[in-house]
Amino acid sequence: MAAKKTLKVRQTGSSIRRPKDQHQTLVGLGLGKIGRVRELEDTPSVRGMINKIQHMVEIVEE
C-alpha cells in the first residue's frame, strides 16, 4: 500500500480582525499562533481549507 502524501503548513498571519470562519478554519487545521507548523494529510478538503486562508498560511517545502 502506498504511503499517504502529507503537507507541512505554517501559519504566517494573524487571525485578529479576520472573519470568524477564517479563524475557525485555522483552528480546524490545528493552527492558531503565528509560526506554528502542522503536517496534514493531502486531501481535497484540506486543500480547500488551505485555499480559503491562503493569505495567512504557507506550504513548507520538505
pTM (two decimals): 0.89
The C-alpha cell 498571519 sits at: 13
Tell me the C-alpha distance between 36 and 5, whole Å: 20
Among the residues of 1-62, which ranges form H helices? 20-28, 44-52
Q: 44: domain CATH number?
A: 3.30.1390.20
Distance from CA of residue 9 to its chain's centroid?
5
Domain range for 35 is 6-60
Residue 53 domain-assigned (yes or no) = yes
Domain count, the chain: 1
Residue 46 domain-assigned (yes or no) = yes
> What is the strand order of the sheet 57-60 is part of?
37-41, 6-11, 57-60
Q: What is the mean pLDDT of residues 32-39?
A: 96
Please determine, for residue 53, whether its predicted confidence score (pLDDT) is greater than 70. yes
At 4, is the pLDDT very low, low, confident or very high (cuts 50, 70, 90)? confident
What three-state secondary structure class fits 10? strand
